[in-house]
Every structure is written in C-alpha cells, then in structure tokens.
Amino acid sequence: MLKVLSRYRFPIHPRREVVTLVSITGLIIVLFIGVTAVSKLFHAQQDALAARWSARGRAELAAGRYGEAVNDYRASLQYAPDSYPIQLGMAQSLIGQGHTGEASAYLVNLWEAEPENGVVNRELARIAAGKGDTRSALRYYHNAIYAIWSGDAERQRRETRWELVKYLLGNKAYAQAQSELIALAAEVGDDPGQQVNLGQYFLKVQDNQRALAAFQVALKADPQGQAALAGAGAAAFGTGDYARAQDYLRSAVQESSSDRESRDLLDVAEQVTQLDPYRRQISVAERDRAVLGIFQTAGQRLESCPAASRSPLVAGKPETLNDAWTKLGVHAASRNLPKNRDVVNQALNLAFAIERQAASQCGPGSSADAALVLISRLHEGS
C-alpha cells in the first residue's frame, strides 16, 4: 500500500504560498505602521505634556515664584528627562529657592554637555561667588564672557562683565576690576548711559583719567547730563586739575542743586585755588598773607583735633605739633615775616604737617582743612 502511495505526487500550489506570504507581510507592515503611529502619538503626548509644564515653569520663574517653578519643571522632566532647556530652568528655579547644591548638580551636568553655554557658566559663576570660591567664580565668569549666547550675545557678554566687575569690587580686587573695566571701555560704544556707568566704576578703582575720558564721551552726546557733569568734576578733582573740576562741578550743581557731593567737592576745589600760596600770578605780599592764613587755619585744626596736637613733630622727639606751632607762631605773627623767608617756609611746612596728621587722626575737617591737605600733596617737595 505504501508503495502505491509513493508513486503519487501531491500537487503543490505556489499561488497559495505567495498569497499567504503576501498576507503575512502585509499584516506585519500594518502592525509596524500601527505600532509606529501609536509610538509617535505617545511621544507627541509626552512632548506636549513636557512643553506645557515647561511653559508654566518659565512663567513662574519669570514671576519669581520659584517653588511653583520647581514643581512645574519637575513635572516636565518626567516627560522629557534629557531636555537641556528644562534642566536649565529647573536649575535656575532651585537657585531662586536658595537650593544651590541641587542646582549645581544640574548645572555641572549641563556644563559637561555644553561647556561653551553662556547661561550655564554664569549661573555656575554666581554659585561659586556665593560660596566664596573666587577661583572658580572667575573661571566661570570668564567662560561666560567668551561663551555662546542665544539672542543678543554682545549684550549678554557685556552684562556678564559688568557683573564680574561688581563682584571684584566687592572683594576689593581693584586691579582686576580695573582690567575688566578697560575691556568694557572697548565694548560699550558711545552710549552716554553706558559711558556714565563706566566712568563711575573707574572712579571706584581710582582710575581718574579713564573716568574723566568716559564722562567726556557721555557729555558729547548730552552736554547737560548731570551725572556726567558730576562725574567729570569728581574725576578732574581726583587728577588734581582743580580749575577744570570747578567748571564741571559748577555746571553739575546748576543742573541739580540737591547734589550735595558735587557742592562739597566744588567748595574744596575753590579753596585749593584760593589758598594755594604757590599759585601763578600772585605777589610776594599776597603769598605771605596766604601763608599766614594757612598757618592760622592749622592752629585752629590743632584745637579741634587734640590727638594731632599731641603728636610729635619728629618721631621719637618730645616736641609736639602744638609745641612747634606755638613756638613758630611768635615769629609768624611778626611784622618782619616778609623779611624772613625761612620762617615763611617753616610756617608753611608745619601747617601742612599739622593738616596731614589731623586728617589721618580726626578725619577731613573743614573744606579749608581738606584743601590744605591737597595743596600739600600738590607741592610736596617744593
């Protein structure tokens, strides 16, 4: 029986196999398309939820509601855990809450991914500054200044450098702050507001020449700018150019009568030019009268500053400034003063010594006292 069956060949239906194969392939394609569609829909929903929570987080962060922003960004990260902007927003919200440790963890990861990101570097600089880590703060600030920024990159870099200047001044790093200000001077352009800021910060590092140059640029654009006039007056005063200082300061006071600082500086500058016995176009008689006036002012200063009165004329010697003033006063009051040039010089030198000592021990004193200290510096060694 088996032999009989083996003689027969059952017919093969290739068309049926092709149909089956096509059907299976089609089913696979349909399933793949379906899975892809479902996957895309799922990811689209995830992205939409992440975007929605992120938008809420940005709004809360901008409004200063940091706790709510943290919650919103935390929810957003559940749907987009690898999103760079969302992690950055989370870090900034945590900083607003004062949770700098947790914020640093996010920022360091972001920095490792994009070490050239300006916002990340600046936030890391602020955290380092708050911790007193000056070295890291400076490194991150400089990274931020030369980093990549979205939007107005030039403005962001300039604002970061301003922030660095303020940080350096807060740490009394005046030489470093001056270097940053010099760099800013090449970046701020002719904008009068920026130039006034620049001048005011140059005053803080006692770079009076550059401060004056900045204020003068501002005054070209706005000749009546009160802040620029006051700053220019202070800068000229700091350089020892008291005549120019008076011009600027008078204009500043005219623009704002409430500017007490400019008024006080103007008073001292006027006293310098009036009391200076070495000023040009002055007769010998006028000079002698000026010296007598200075000597008497120094005597009054001794009365108002007992600490200076008791100070030795020469270190290690018993004679005090008051002793020397009393002794020399007999000769200074003499009508023969014009005939004795040595007494004139001694009276002037002693008066200057008294004013400097009193300033160091009792403060600046009157405007005349402050002027005499400045005059002594002007003619030191004369």
pLDDT per residue as tens digits for the range 100-128: 999 999 999 999 999 999 999 999 999 99
Q: Is residue 250 part of a domain?
A: yes
Mean confidence (pLDDT) of the chain: 87
Q: Is residue 257 part of a domain?
A: yes
User: Residue 1: what pLDDT?
Assistant: 47
User: Residue 2: what pLDDT?
Assistant: 44
d(CA 126, CA 92): 11
Q: Strand, helix or coil at 125?
A: helix
77 neighbors 94 (Cβ within 8 angstroms): no
User: Residue 5: what pLDDT?
Assistant: 45
Shared-domain flag, residues 300 and 348? yes
**Overall number of domains in the chain:** 2
Shared-domain flag, residues 218 and 237? yes
Q: Is residue 10 part of a domain?
A: no
Q: How are the residues of the chain apportioned to helix, strand and coil, as percentages rounded to the nearest 5?
A: 75, 0, 20
Shared-domain flag, residues 242 and 307? no
User: Residue 272: what pLDDT?
Assistant: 94
Give residue-wise pLDDT tens across range 198-228.
999 999 999 999 999 999 999 999 999 999 9
Q: Is residue 241 part of a domain?
A: yes
Q: Give per-residue burial for 320-331: e unless 16+ CB within 10 Å, then b.
A: bbbebbeebeee
Q: Give per-residue burial for 255-286: e unless 16+ CB within 10 Å, then b.
A: beeebeebbebbbbbbbbeebbbeeeeeeeee
Q: Is residue 321 part of a domain?
A: yes
d(CA 217, CA 220): 5
Paired tokens of 296 = 């008497």
235 neighbors 203 (Cβ within 8 angstroms): yes
Q: Is residue 30 part of a domain?
A: no
Q: Is residue 351 part of a domain?
A: yes
Give residue-wise pLDDT tens across range 292-301.
889 999 999 9
d(CA 141, CA 151): 19
| Domain limit, last residue, from 240, 275, 310 | 275
Shared-domain flag, residues 271 and 201? yes
Share of the chain above pLDDT 70, in %: 85
User: Residue 218: what pLDDT?
Assistant: 96
Mean pLDDT of 347-353: 91
| Domain limit, last residue, from 247, 275, 303 | 275
Shared-domain flag, residues 340 and 255? no
Q: If pLDDT is split at 50, 70 and 90, which confidence band does 359 have? A: very high
Residue 334 has pLDDT above 90, yes or no: no
Structural domain range at position 297: 284-378
Q: If pLDDT is split at 50, 70 and 90, which confidence band does 40 have? A: low
H-assigned helices in 171-207 = 174-185, 192-204
19, amino acid identity:
V
Q: If pLDDT is split at 50, 70 and 90, which confidence band does 287 have? A: confident
Q: Specify the CATH number for the domain of residue 241.
A: 1.25.40.10
pTM over 0.85: no
What Cα–Cα distance (Å) separates residue 268 from each residue in 237, 250, 286, 297, 368? Answer: 9, 12, 20, 14, 7
| Domain limit, last residue, from 226, 257, 275 | 275
Shared-domain flag, residues 202 and 259? yes
d(CA 69, CA 61): 5
Q: Is residue 71 part of a domain?
A: no
Shared-domain flag, residues 303 and 270? no
Q: Which residues contact 72 (CB under 8 A, 6 or more apart)?
A: 53, 54, 56, 57, 60
Shared-domain flag, residues 207 and 238? yes
Residue 41 has pLDDT above 60, yes or no: no
